[in-house]
């Protein structure tokens, strides 16, 4: 991955994506707390100390290390009109030549779901990432019944590529995933 400054900000019509800072803890913990029941069915099991300052510190340290090593970029998504934290998006497992690929992940706080924010954020992130990270493709996987994630991916030009058996641990169980990819030049405008 090319060097990407930690102060990078990606903007879209209503949103700004930026690297998490220690000072984001209160907003992050509040949004994840009110959204916990909404998010847990779609995410890996939460640690016992989820939402604690210690958990946040551990996450920011890992994300910063990944960013600096070129392994990935994690962003928080904020609404520009009021700076409200809406969710997060990431590109991880960034692989150079010959793959030139990365894995996309994202989450949206329940109060902000269904308003088109995630589609806008994913589109902006992908438009930025292809040239900035020299990617040829961005990959994503969703559990089969996650219709909202399917709509985000298909709405930004991702194509379904197949099914991976027992792909990831989600909510305490190995789950099959439907795999999608977006190839440079295929993003929907």
Which pLDDT score is estimated for 179?
97
Which tens digits make up the pLDDT trace of 141-168?
999 999 999 999 999 999 999 999 999 8
CB atoms within 10 A of CB 174: 10
Residue 18 contacts residue 9 (beta carbons within 8 Å): yes
Average of per-residue pLDDT across 39-63: 93
Token code pair at residue 24: 């984001």
The rounded percent of the chain whose pLDDT value lies above 70 is 96
CA–CA separation, 43 and 172 (whole Å): 9
CA–CA separation, 188 and 141 (whole Å): 19
Which tens digits make up the pLDDT trace of 63-90?
999 988 889 999 999 999 999 999 999 9
CA–CA separation, 2 and 175 (whole Å): 33
What SS3 class is residue 134? coil
Q: What global pTM score does this model have?
A: 0.93
Which pLDDT score is estimated for 8?
85
Distant-in-sequence, close-in-space partners of 116: CB < 8 Å, separation ≥ 6: none
């Amino acid at each position: 991955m090319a060097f990407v400054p930690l102060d990078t900000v990606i903007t879209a019509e209503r949103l700004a994506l930026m690297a998490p800072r220690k000072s984001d803890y209160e907003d992050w913990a509040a949004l994840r707390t009110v959204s916990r029941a909404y998010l847990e069915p779609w995410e890996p099991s939460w640690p016992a100390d989820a939402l604690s300052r210690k958990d946040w510190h551990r996450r920011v340290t890992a994300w910063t290390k990944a960013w600096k090593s070129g392994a990935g970029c994690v962003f928080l998504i904020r609404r520009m009109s009021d700076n409200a934290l809406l969710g997060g998006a990431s590109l991880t497992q960034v692989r150079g030549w010959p793959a030139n690929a990365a894995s996309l992940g994202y989450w949206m706080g329940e109060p902000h779901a269904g308003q088109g924010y995630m589609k806008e954020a994913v589109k902006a992130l992908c438009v930025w990432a292809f040239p900035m990270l020299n990617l040829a493709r961005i990959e994503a996987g969703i559990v089969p019944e996650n219709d909202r994630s399917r709509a985000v991916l298909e709405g930004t030009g991702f194509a379904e590529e197949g099914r991976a058996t027992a792909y990831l641990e989600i909510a305490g169980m190995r789950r099959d995933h439907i795999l999608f990819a977006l190839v440079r030049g295929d993003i929907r405008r």
